[in-house]
């Protein structure tokens, strides 16, 4: 009679490592599943080998692979995955040979990629996961996808998969369909895939299109990132399709009406408008009147009277301002604006407020080598040319007579409204003494004066009526004078005789040595002077004056303090 122990021993002899047997789930634990295969002890399977352990329940029948009949705890070590691998291997080989596709569940992350359960464990390289290799592989764990089997090693029993090839193939098919379906003018939904300095690439669910920065908005955009972010979903307009090169041009602003189409009606010339300063450049300020519409205020249109070097001196970006529309060029999408036109042009009233011949009073605002600028009112200046400061004196620089900040009177001589210039004169406040020089001075008169300037050829003597006379070095003393500074000093009072009057040249010749001459001696001296020629020992008075002029110009040019005012032409 056969005993129970013999029956069990006989059954156990039928179990061996490497076998696939059927078992029944007897207990489901958090990390393992207990299975009875009819052996003397129960077997254990790691919970990770089940797609969803929550769906496993006691009494369920499973096929398992016997790895070891007994571990150190006396338990049978089983594997559900290895059973499936062994069973599916022939099926996998058939699929691989045909380049087929399989469904699989991502099991875990390993170095360089993912482990995928397709009935057997297969390797999915990171570069083959998607068209763009993902940064975080963990997001794929637990998900089921379709894969293409790209490589198999039968000896090692391992398989390499690709999900990317299937995605690319799907995109190629989609791209072909989209290129056939798309028409310019269509509105399509897309996702911002990449942003560059010149635009953004939009994924149209199968084909990428370029949205150029100039087609994003009718307004000014510094960079595409001001409007778009990667991953953002937007509706775009198909502008152009190149089916041969598979290129699509997209637009965003085209979904809205072009504001320049009705610009003439909305912003007629002469209308006052409001806007925001969006950009400052050396030649002007760009003002946004509405999204997509900007006008330019040229630097010359900022003020009627102030000389503004650059717009940033008076305006700031983001500043809200008012302006007047000066002109519109719809074809070039340009609007000319002016700020100074908000106020009356003071030059329109200049002739009325400052009639020629009228006397004005103002402060000296600036001195240049060629004249003085007098402030008539805020922002409105007149200029006194250096030649209009004195009737009689040779003025080399206005600073000899005028000081900055000094209040002076002057006569309006001329108004040039077109060039915005007013010419003033100080000497015109009094009559020209040379008009009556015959009544003031005659040859032979004994005069008193003060030495005002010394030169190598003589000395200037200041007389009454603000007139200077010249004493040539030959007319200082009966004795020969080598250097004028040895006998005369600036500020010294002297007596002299008028020996020559040149009315046309507005010059008077004096002689100190002739102060005590008799009429006969004066006549003789006059004849000597009149007979002198250039190159003789004594220089003629005319040439002496010419030499003075040249010396004064040479010495004065080094002392000039030119400003940025209009250079030395008399207004």
Taking only the tens place, the pLDDT of each residue in 170-229 is: 877 777 777 777 888 888 888 898 889 898 998 887 778 888 988 888 777 788 888 888
* 499 and 395 part of one domain: no
Write the DSSP symbol of residue 567: P
**What are the helix (H) ranges across 367-509?**
437-440
* 440 and 459 part of one domain: yes
* 551 and 452 part of one domain: yes
CA distance 326 to 433: 52
* 484 and 464 part of one domain: yes
* 539 and 441 part of one domain: yes
* 467 and 544 part of one domain: yes
Last residue of a domain, one of 60, 82, 104: 82
With a cut of 80, say whether residue 408 has pLDDT above it.
yes
Is residue 102 in a domain? no
CA distance 473 to 459: 7
Q: Which residue has the higher pLDDT, 4 or 513?
A: 513
Q: Compute the mean pLDDT over every residue in the chain, rounded to the nearest whole number.
A: 81
Other Cβ atoms closer than 10 A to 338: 17
Query: Domain tally for the chain?
Result: 5
Predicted local distance difference test score (pLDDT) of residue 531: 60
CA angle 402, 407, 412 (to 5 degrees): 85
Please give the average per-residue pLDDT across 109-120, as a whole number.
88
* 355 and 317 part of one domain: no
CA distance 81 to 89: 12
Model pLDDT for residues 506-564, shown as the tens digit of each residue: 888 898 988 888 777 777 766 666 664 433 333 344 444 444 444 444 444 434 334 33
CA distances from 565 to 368, 375, 541 (A): 8, 14, 37
Is residue 175 in a domain? no
Q: Which residue has the higher pLDDT, 398 or 542?
A: 398
Last residue of a domain, one of 240, 255, 270: 255
Is residue 417 in a domain? yes
CB 570 within 8 A of CB 385: yes
Is residue 38 in a domain? yes
Last residue of a domain, one of 237, 255, 273: 255
Is residue 76 in a domain? yes
* 210 and 275 part of one domain: no
Is residue 368 in a domain? yes
Domain range for 52: 4-82
Is residue 150 in a domain? no
* 203 and 247 part of one domain: yes
Here the CATH number for the domain that contains residue 228 is 2.40.50.140
Q: How does 76-85 read in b/e, with b if 16+ C-beta sit within 10 Å?
A: bbbbbbbbbb
Its pTM surpasses 0.85: no
* 478 and 551 part of one domain: yes
pLDDT tier for residue 83 given thresholds of 50, 70 and 90: confident
* 248 and 192 part of one domain: yes
* 235 and 309 part of one domain: no
Is residue 188 in a domain? yes
CA distance 320 to 377: 28
């Amino acid at each position: 009679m056969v005993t129970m122990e013999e029956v069990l021993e006989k059954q156990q002899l039928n179990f061996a490592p490497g076998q696939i047997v059927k078992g029944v789930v007897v207990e489901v634990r958090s990390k393992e599943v207990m299975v009875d295969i009819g052996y003397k002890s129960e077997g254990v399977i790691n919970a990770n080998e089940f797609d969803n352990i929550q769906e496993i329940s006691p009494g369920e029948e499973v096929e398992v692979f016997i790895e070891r009949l007994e571990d150190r705890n006396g338990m049978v070590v089983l594997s559900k995955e290895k059973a499936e691998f062994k069973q599916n291997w022939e099926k996998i080989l058939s699929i691989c040979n045909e380049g087929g596709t399989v469904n699989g569940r991502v099991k875990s992350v390993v170095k360089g990629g993912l482990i995928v359960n397709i009935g057997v464990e297969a390797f999915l390289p990171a570069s083959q996961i998607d068209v763009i290799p993902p940064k975080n592989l963990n997001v794929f764990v637990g998900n089921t996808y379709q894969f293409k089997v790209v490589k198999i090693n039968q000896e090692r029993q391992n398989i390499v998969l690709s999900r990317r090839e299937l995605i690319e193939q799907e995109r190629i098919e989609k791209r072909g369909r989209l290129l056939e379906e798309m028409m310019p003018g269509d509105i399509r939904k897309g996702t911002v895939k990449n942003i560059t300095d010149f635009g953004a690439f939009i994924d149209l669910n199968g084909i990428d299109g370029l949205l150029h920065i100039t087609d994003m908005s009718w307004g000014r955009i510094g960079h595409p990132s001001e409007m778009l972010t990667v991953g953002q979903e937007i509706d775009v307009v198909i502008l152009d399709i190149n089916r041969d090169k598979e290129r699509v041009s997209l637009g965003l602003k085209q979904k809205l009406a072009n504001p320049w189409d009705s610009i003439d009606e909305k912003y007629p010339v002469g209308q006052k408008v409001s806007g925001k300063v969006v950009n400052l450049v050396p030649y002007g300020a760009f003002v946004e009147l509405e999204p997509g519409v900007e006008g330019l205020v040229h630097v010359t249109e900022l003020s009627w009277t102030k000389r503004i070097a650059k717009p940033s001196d008076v305006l700031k970006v983001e500043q809200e301002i008012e302006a007047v529309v000066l002109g519109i060029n719809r074809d070039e999408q340009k609007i000319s604006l002016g700020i100074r036109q908000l106020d009356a042009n003071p030059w329109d009233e200049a002739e009325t407020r400052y009639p020629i011949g009228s006397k004005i009073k103002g402060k000296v605002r600036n001195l240049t080598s060629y004249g003085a600028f007098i402030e008539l009112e805020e922002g409105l200046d007149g200029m006194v040319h250096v030649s209009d400061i004195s009737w009689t004196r040779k003025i080399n620089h206005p600073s000899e007579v005028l000081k900055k900040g000094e209040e002076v009177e002057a006569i309006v001589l001329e108004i040039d409204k077109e060039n915005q210039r007013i010419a003033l004169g100080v000497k015109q406040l009094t009559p020209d003494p040379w008009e009556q020089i015959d009544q003031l001075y005659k040859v032979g008169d004994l005069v008193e004066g003060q030495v005002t300037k010394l030169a190598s050829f003589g000395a200037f003597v200041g007389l009454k009526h603000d007139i200077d006379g010249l004493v040539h070095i030959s007319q200082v003393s009966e004795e020969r004078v080598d250097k004028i500074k040895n006998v005369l000093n600036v500020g010294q009072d002297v007596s002299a005789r008028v020996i020559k009057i040149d009315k046309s040249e507005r010059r008077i010749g004096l002689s100190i040595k002739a102060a005590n001459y008799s009429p006969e001696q004066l006549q003789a001296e006059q004849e000597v002077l009149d007979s002198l020629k250039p190159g003789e020992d004594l220089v003629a008075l005319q040439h002496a004056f010419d030499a003075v002029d040249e010396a004064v110009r040479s010495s004065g040019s080094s002392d000039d303090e030119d400003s940025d005012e209009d250079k030395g032409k008399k207004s």
